[in-house]
Copies of this chain bind each other. A is one copy, B any other.
Amino acid sequence: MARSSLTRDEVLDAAASLVKQRGPAALTMRGLAAALGTAVTSIYWHVGNRESLLDALVERTVQEMGAISPVGRTPAERIESVARILRRELRERPHLIAMVHERGLTERMFLPAQQALVHEVHAAGLRGARAADAVRAVQFQIVGFLLVERNRERSPAQSPAESELWDPAAAPDDPALARALARPADPERLFLLSVRALVTALLTAPPQGARTGP
């Protein structure tokens, strides 16, 4: 039986729930129609085609990523809190984030966070081009880390596992290092450690980064 009235929002809701539960590949026009109890072609009337449907879904996700409210006393602490907030929000929508990324909208999704970062970097005393570099470096690091982390979680056990590499000659005189690398990484700890290290360096380094030695 035909439904009385199908709205664009209903279509988007159903599509979002499909993607959230079973990933973007599970979102087929026919499957979506079945879930909605309509003919496939009705969907086309409301959203155009599959591509625009995904666009609309992504657009929604971008909107949902609201403003960022940093917490902490120092700029470094507040930047770290921005990173923490972003990580939490992204981990709640893994599939949708992947779609945002695939569609090249990652940058756009991060505009609110970028504004927060600008404010904090400014508060830390950085100005002009150097402040812009710091903002972008942190932004790239956060996004990049989360992409890598997501990838790790999805991937099955790596074929020649790290353990295989880390008993023999690779780290000859540091068994503790070998053991640490054989263990799985703790992503949250590594994330915060990385952000903290980068931020520390960016907020204290000289304008022109010519100093590389210890």
Which residues from chain A sit less than 8 Å from chain B, CB to CB? 73-77, 80, 101, 103-108, 111, 114-115, 118, 122, 124-125, 127-129, 131-133, 135-137, 140-141, 143-149, 151-152, 154-156, 158-160, 162, 165, 170-171, 174, 176-177, 180-181, 185, 190, 193-194, 196-205, 209, 211-214
Contact = CB atoms under 8 A, between A and B. Distances in A.
A209 B181 contact: no
Residue of A114, A144, A165, A211 most packed against chain B (CB within 10 A): A144
A128 B174 contact: yes
A91 to B, nearest CB: 15
Residue of A128, A174, A200, A212 most packed against chain B (CB within 10 A): A212
B203 A201 contact: no
B118 A190 contact: no
B214 A148 contact: no
Contacts of A136: 181, 185, 190
Residue of A127, A146, A177, A181 most packed against chain B (CB within 10 A): A177
A168 to B, nearest CB: 11
Nearest to A75: B214
A158 B111 CA distance: 11
Given A144-B140, A144-B144, A144-B147, A177 B107 contact: no
Nearest to A106: B151
A213 B137 CA distance: 18
A148 B155 contact: no
